[in-house]
Amino acid sequence: MRILGWVLMALAFALGFVFTFGEPLGTILFAWNSGFIPTFQAGVQRNLSPWLWDMLILPLLERPVWVGPFLLSCLVFFVHGMWKRATGQATPS
């Protein structure tokens, strides 16, 4: 599980260097496939909830491209640490 965290962290830094650290995720996705975001938006708003698009997905698309993998890696490290502590495998400091 810790390896997944490190892979996601490396991915975040690689994306930051390749696409510059300030480039929004939505810009990258639109350049990759210009029809993806409007189709995805329509599908989410019609089939799931307009709230989900407005409050969760759109703010993620406006964030820099490296933020998603970085936050996921932090979450993986946190869950791994909590799991090790719950099972008694954590080393005392």
pLDDT tens digits for range 32-52: 899 999 999 999 999 999 999
pLDDT for the residue 4: 92
pLDDT for position 90: 65
Residue 50: domain span: 24-63
Burial 33-43 (b: 16+ CB within 10 A, else e): eeeebeeebee
Q: Are residues 72 and 92 in the same domain?
A: yes
CA distance 65 to 67: 6
C-alpha–C-alpha distance, residues 20 and 25, integer Å: 11
One domain, residues 28 and 59: yes
Q: Are residues 19 and 35 in the same domain?
A: no
- Specify the higher pLDDT residue, 88 or 18: 18
Q: Look up residue 69 and give its two tokens.
A: 């993998």
Shared-domain flag, residues 70 and 50: no
pLDDT for residue 20 is more than 90: no
Same domain, 53 and 80: no
pLDDT one-digit tens code per residue, 57-71: 999 899 999 998 999
Q: Number of folded domains in the chain?
A: 2
Tokens of 39: 């189709």
The upper half-sphere exposure of residue 42, i.e. CA atoms within 13 Å in the direction of its Cβ, equals 4
